[in-house]
Amino acid sequence: MPVLDYGHLLAPGGLYRAQIAVRTVMAWPDIADEQSRREYVATLMSIHLADLKAKRDALPDPAAADGWEDTILAIEQHEAWMASHEEFEAWFDEAGGHATVSMAPGFRFFEKDMEKRVGGWFAAGLILALVRRMAMHHADLPGGASVNKAVFILERVKLPNVPRNSHDLRKAWKTYKPVAHFCAVLFDWFMIAFTHNETPEEVGAAMEGELNENFMMFLSEAEAYLEFGLAHQPLRAKAQTLLDPDETWILPQYRPWPGSPFKPQPLSGALLEAALDYRAPLPSV
């Protein structure tokens, strides 16, 4: 059972580090993909360090400040720069430093690679979210709450940025099941941003702002999805839980956040219609 290492959340920069940790396991959820995760972190930290180096010469000189107020302000700016530099340098070294960056494909490659994964993330998150909703609110549905039923629903209800066919949906579930709890929250938040913004740029900015300001709540909601996925046993799963405890990225015991106020709503409209249309495949003779 892999444990997400996000460090001390309440330390300076702790929530940003947690975002990076979640992003890396979402992109490379297989436990064996440790090298790719390290290469991404080292590359990102090298960019931050280069940016800080470029800003260093622009810092005000405390010795040349005009008055004590400007001197204190200049000292505070230098201290903030030093703290950020030490933080990023430590993360850079933890990921393997220059040796790791030298083996990495480059940040633009990582950006494009992650963009290609969004549809898969949304699909895996939606499958988990739909099974959770059906289990909580629709116990009377024939066959119970299952991945097959969730895939059937998603094939018929066209949601934004989600694959449209069974093959791609099942591939996404197989690939991203270990991080489906993070994927589910990501899609929930995306839909909120999508509802309240018009352009893709506005949606992206809203998502980024929400993640930066409320990442503790993101983790809280992911925990609720995680607990459901590790406890729910679909009817035909032969006592296996929806999420595999040996592969799923769990959260460490240190969880300094309140319980999630988010409550999954019952299916309605086209989602409920599709769920009612589902017929479980007949077992082979």
Q: What span, in angstroms and rounded, lies between the C-alpha atoms of 139 and 178?
A: 25
Beta bridge partners of 3: 250
Using CA atoms, how far apart are residues 130 and 128, in angstroms rounded to an integer? Answer: 6
The string of pLDDT tens digits covering residues 37-86 is: 999 999 999 999 999 999 988 888 888 888 888 899 988 988 988 988 99
Q: What letter represents residue 45's amino acid? A: M
What global pTM score does this model have?
A: 0.91
DSSP 249: -
Predicted confidence at residue 237, as pLDDT, reads: 63
The Cα 38–Cα 267 span in angstroms is 40
User: In the structure encoding, which two tokens stand for residue 206, read together?
Assistant: 């809203």
In the prediction, which pLDDT does 285 show?
Answer: 41
pLDDT for the residue 284: 45
How far apart CA 65 and CA 96 sit, in angstroms, is 39
Length of the chain: 285
The parts of the chain modelled with pLDDT lower than 50 are 284-285
